[in-house]
């Protein structure tokens, strides 16, 4: 069966798949990045993993993969296939597309950004399936996003499109890692809620998941912290709604694991803020931690269809 290699390189682990054209997963595997051994070792681990996946495809399906898609964190130059910078993995201006193409015997390779790849998969084969315009928001350590238009992700002119985590929703608010004050991610990321709940309880290990449980158990302090995060997130979503008018907002990441504890008050807070805008559907992401890998595979298939039509 025709297939492509799909590979998501995270801070600590890599997730890979062999993907058929309809997005179905033919094979899955995971490996550590080995970043404790340095950047060169990480790059070697990526190339080895890709080569092993190509062998796996040949053995299982009797033919070589047609292309490879790789999603990486940090700043990406998608057009030139360069992984520009990753604080986590330590590289600068790494020509990853070229290196992978060479290692895989000249196979076409697509290089994508992890969050945008995840958004692409959620929009095309996950929670936004069949939706033409969507916004994907990942609530994790920080907050990242991806703008889906016409089945593709809009990366912007400089590769920073969709950075909803750095929309200022509380001017003069907490200092953000980006240098601004009151960015959405300082208020509504899983880390922000964890910090607030740890301070409130005096327990440094108290996290956002524990805060959600406390909300469900009727704890007043937890409810206040939770509502502050929900309000900030609703402000960010309404700003995006005014600007982009998506039909669906897909919310994933650690905080979204709280399910209805998040989505019920979030939908209410969004609808209370809308004036003329049409309300988006606010839905949980479906693909969890496989989204970026699946999206990388979709990028590889897109590359092949572009070559056919070119
Ligand atoms: Zn910021």
Ligand 1 (ion): which residues have CB within 5 A? 166, 176, 178, 180, 183
Would you state the structure tokens that stand for residue 45, as one six-digit string?
A: 């681990």
What was the pLDDT predicted at 151? 83
Residue 5: its H or E element: strand 4-9
Output the DSSP codes for 166-187: GSBSSTT-SBPTTS-BSBTHHH
Place of tokens 């292309």: 67
Q: State pLDDT tens for residues 53-112.
A: 999 999 999 999 999 999 999 999 999 999 999 988 999 999 999 999 999 999 999 999
Would you state the structure tokens that stand for residue 111, as one six-digit string?
A: 């290089």
H-type alpha helices, 126-254: 185-188, 190-201, 208-216, 220-244
**Ligand 1 centroid to residue 185 C-alpha, Å:** 7
Q: State pLDDT tens for residues 266-308.
A: 999 999 999 999 999 999 999 999 999 999 999 999 999 987 6
Q: State pLDDT tens for residues 129-156.
A: 989 999 999 999 999 999 999 989 999 9
**Ligand 1 centroid to residue 115 C-alpha, Å:** 16
What was the pLDDT predicted at 309? 64
**Ligand 1 centroid to residue 72 C-alpha, Å:** 21
What was the pLDDT predicted at 310? 57
Q: State pLDDT tens for residues 195-253.
A: 999 999 999 999 999 999 999 999 999 999 999 999 999 999 999 999 999 999 999 99
- Mean pLDDT, residues 253-264: 96
**Ligand 1 centroid to residue 164 C-alpha, Å:** 9
Distance in Å from the first CA to the final CA of the chain: 24
């Amino acid at each position: 069966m025709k297939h492509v290699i799909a590979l998501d390189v995270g801070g600590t682990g890599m997730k890979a798949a062999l993907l058929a054209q309809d997005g179905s997963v033919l094979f899955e595997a995971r490996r550590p990045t080995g970043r404790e051994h340095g950047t060169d070792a990480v790059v070697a681990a990526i190339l080895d993993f890709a080569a092993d996946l190509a062998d796996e495809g040949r053995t299982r399906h009797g033919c070589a993969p047609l292309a490879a898609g790789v999603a990486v964190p940090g700043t990406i130059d998608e057009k030139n296939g360069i992984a520009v910078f990753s604080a986590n993995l330590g590289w600068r201006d790494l020509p990853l597309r070229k290196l992978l193409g060479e290692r895989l015997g000249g196979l076409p390779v697509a290089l994508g950004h992890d969050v945008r790849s995840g958004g692409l998969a959620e929009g095309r084969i996950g929670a936004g399936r069949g939706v033409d315009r969507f916004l994907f928001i990942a609530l994790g350590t920080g907050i990242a996003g991806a703008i889906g238009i016409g089945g593709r992700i809009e990366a912007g002119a400089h590769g920073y499109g969709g950075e909803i985590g750095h929309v200022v929703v509380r001017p003069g608010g907490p200092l953000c890692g980006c240098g601004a004050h009151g960015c959405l991610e300082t208020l509504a990321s899983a880390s922000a809620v964890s910090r607030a709940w740890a301070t409130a309880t005096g327990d440094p290990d108290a996290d956002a998941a524990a805060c959600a449980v406390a909300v469900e158990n009727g704890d007043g302090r937890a409810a206040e912290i939770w509502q502050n995060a929900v309000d900030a997130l609703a402000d960010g979503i309404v700003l995006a709604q005014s600007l982009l008018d998506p039909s669906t907002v897909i919310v994933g990441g650690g905080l979204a694991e709280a399910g209805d504890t998040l989505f019920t008050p979030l939908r209410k807070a969004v609808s209370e803020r809308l004036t003329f805008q049409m309300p988006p559907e606010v839905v949980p992401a479906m693909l969890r931690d496989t989204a970026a890998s699946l999206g990388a595979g979709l990028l590889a298939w897109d590359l092949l269809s572009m070559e056919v039509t070119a």
